[in-house]
Amino acid sequence: MTVIIGMVYGNKVYMAGDSLGVSSYDKVERDDPKVFKNDKFLIGFTTSFRMGQLLQYKFKPPKQKPKQSDHEYMVTDFIDAVRKVLNDNGYGEKDKNQETGGQFLVGYKSALYQIDSDYQVGIPTDQYAAIGCGAAYAIGALHGWLKDNDGDFDPSNYLYEAVETAKHFSAGCGGDIWHESI
């Protein structure tokens, strides 16, 4: 289920995602967004609505230490707090001493981070990334449009169209499109 796509443009991070919940052959459009703001963070999730709800309502991002790089903060303090809230609320899993959660994108201080289910923190070189079953469609569409663009554009429109592309081709994507920027 899902397509979430984010990009950095100028000094802002933009994100968009669909609103469909899918389980096996069943689907339902949801009014609770997969893209939202939490304090100084923009978050877009896939994997589980429960995980997203915990990140939106129970997760309290820790303060960044002085002189700590943004990447170090994301890899250590931020992820430690995410793991704690997920585990404390029955979401995180542990198998053979490996802890797993879900996948989500985070916009923070004009940067985009991709958090994978093993809690590794990636920084996309292209300044855009997508997750979910519609990711390949959305990222391919966005890449093609950006390659041919040589001027100013509205990132929200590009992301909206990228999600529309994923909705057209992926059975796991659909419904309204949510978008935010920070």
- 20-29 pLDDT, tens digit per residue, is 999 888 999 9
User: Does residue 92 have a pLDDT over 80?
Assistant: no
With a CB cutoff of 8 Å and minimum separation 6, the contacts of 131 are: 2, 3, 4, 44, 46, 103, 104, 105, 114
User: Does residue 176 have a pLDDT over 80?
Assistant: yes
Q: Is 121 helix (H, G, I), strand (E, B) or coil?
A: strand
pLDDT band at 138 (very low <50, low <70, confident <90, very high): very high
- Confidence (pLDDT) at 95: 73
In this prediction the pTM is 0.94
Contact at 8 Å (CB) between 103 and 17?
Answer: no
